[in-house]
């Protein structure tokens, strides 16, 4: 029987199974490079960097490589908001316009919306992303940034533009993945009376020693070069670049240089840079109860479904907590994960999940868009890990 302490080169054991998935995906030229870290019961049982951080420069991937996090930013910013809740400085049911007086979007019928922090954190706020909409959509016409392009505007200006567009639905009645965490970031900055970057540093990253994580790359020499899926192999991402998403949608507008630009506004939903090790530390902190950041009851609320039976497009079988998805039905989601597992991904090629029942935390950061976030690699990796720990 394979155990955590078996020969790591045994192909039936965790290390061997993950290595096989990683090596096959790299050989198939579906990924350029990746860093995978796995912790079980608080112990690191797998950590490997493979492939290239920059293929053109023959620069190998390293375990402390820095990546553009895209939506992996969301759980970090959501944690910061909950730290403010724990400190009594913010309430989940505070109205958004208490903190952002000018952020008062209207419903489709022209009435002012009743929008709360809880709506933002559960993505039931009536908002969307430009990349989900068709070309020449309301967001595009208003010049709204998704937080990954080089927009040349401030966070405050992006919030003004967003508030000028009617909400898609009455808050609390639907679930749609959205720019809501950018609005949450603006609230965090207002509550702390500082910049969002400084707030995240004081509330989350500094207390945990996450020195690699911020809105600007801490060490440009360690920043991985991003690639887009292409045939016969991924191509380097342009700056700027446009990447197709789902048929009929506008797709992603990306500016990789944003990770090195201190003038780019801090996007709470997509703008941070960090390492796999830093992010695993945050996940393990939350899985083990939240100390020193959060009390356990708040972590429980964060990681428990908060949206009832509202359908979640693209994520069947899952619900949503406060900033993260939560697995309700493994069969519907077609996954070996245990019920209650929380996970998310990121446009630049990342996936992660925490299975509290198995005391398991997994971080897989890649430098290849979409394949790492939602492609076959993510499925194969998950299945390899569960085949090992349940054998």
Tell me the catalytic residues: 71
**CA dist list (Å): 148 to 76, 84, 364:** 17, 26, 20
Which element (helix H / strand E) includes 366? strand 360-366
Closest C-alpha to 348, from 285, 274, 282: 274
List, as one string, the DSSP characters of 271-324.
Answer: --EE-HHHHHHHHHHHHTT-TTTS-HHHHHHHTS--STT---TT-TTEEE-SSS
Q: Greatest CA separation found in the chain?
A: 65
For residue 386, what are the contacts with CB-CB under 8 A and spacing of at least 6? 336, 337
Alpha carbon distance 320, 275 (integer Å): 25
Helix (H, G, I), strand (E, B) or coil at 377: helix
Count the Cβ atoms, other than its own, within 10 Å of residue 231.
7
Alpha carbon distances (Å) from 190 to 17, 74, 118, 353: 47, 18, 17, 31
**C-alpha to C-alpha distance for 367 and 261, rounded to whole angstroms:** 19
Beta bridge partners of 259: none
Residue 363 Cα to chain centre, angstroms: 11
C-alpha to C-alpha distances, 214 to 164, 196, 202, 225, nearest whole angstrom: 29, 10, 11, 17
């Amino acid at each position: 029987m394979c155990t955590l302490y078996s020969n790591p080169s045994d192909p039936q054991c965790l290390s061997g199974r993950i290595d096989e998935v990683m090596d096959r995906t790299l050989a198939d030229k579906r990924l350029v490079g990746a860093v995978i870290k796995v912790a079980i019961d608080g112990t690191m049982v797998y950590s490997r960097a493979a492939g290239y951080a920059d293929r053109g420069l023959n620069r190998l991937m390293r375990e402390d490589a820095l990546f553009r996090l895209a939506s992996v930013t969301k759980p970090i910013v959501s944690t910061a908001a909950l730290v403010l809740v724990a400190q009594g400085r913010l309430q989940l049911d505070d109205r958004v316009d208490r903190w952002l007086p000018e952020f008062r979007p209207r419903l489709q019928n022209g009435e002012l919306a009743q929008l709360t922090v809880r709506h933002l954190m559960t993505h039931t706020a009536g908002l969307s992303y430009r990349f989900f909409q068709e070309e020449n959509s309301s967001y595009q016409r208003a010049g709204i940034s998704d937080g990954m392009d080089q927009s040349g505007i401030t966070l405050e200006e992006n919030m003004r533009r967003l508030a000028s567009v009617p909400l898609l639905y009455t808050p609390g009645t639907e679930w749609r993945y959205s720019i809501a965490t950018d609005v949450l970031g603006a609230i965090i900055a207002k509550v702390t009376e500082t910049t969002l970057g400084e707030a995240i540093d004081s509330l989350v990253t500094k207390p945990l020693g996450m020195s690699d994580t911020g809105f600007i790359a801490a060490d440009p020499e360690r920043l991985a070069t991003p690639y887009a899926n292409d045939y016969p192999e991924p191509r380097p991402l342009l700056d700027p670049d446009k990447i197709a998403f789902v048929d009929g949608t506008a797709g992603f507008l990306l500016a990789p240089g944003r990770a090195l630009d201190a003038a780019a506004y801090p996007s709470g939903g997509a703008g941070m840079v960090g390492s796999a090790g830093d992010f695993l530390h945050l996940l393990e902190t939350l899985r083990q109860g939240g100390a020193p950041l959060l009390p356990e009851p708040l972590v429980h609320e964060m990681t428990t479904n908060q949206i009832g039976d509202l359908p979640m497009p693209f994520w069947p079988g899952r619900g949503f907590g406060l900033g993260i998805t939560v697995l309700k039905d493994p069969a519907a989601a077609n996954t070996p994960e245990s019920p209650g597992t929380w996970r998310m991904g990121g446009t630049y090629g990342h996936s992660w999940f925490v299975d509290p029942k198995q005391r398991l935390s997994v971080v897989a950061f890649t430098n290849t868009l979409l394949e790492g976030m939602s492609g076959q690699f993510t499925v194969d990796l998950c299945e390899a890990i569960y085949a090992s720990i349940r054998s």
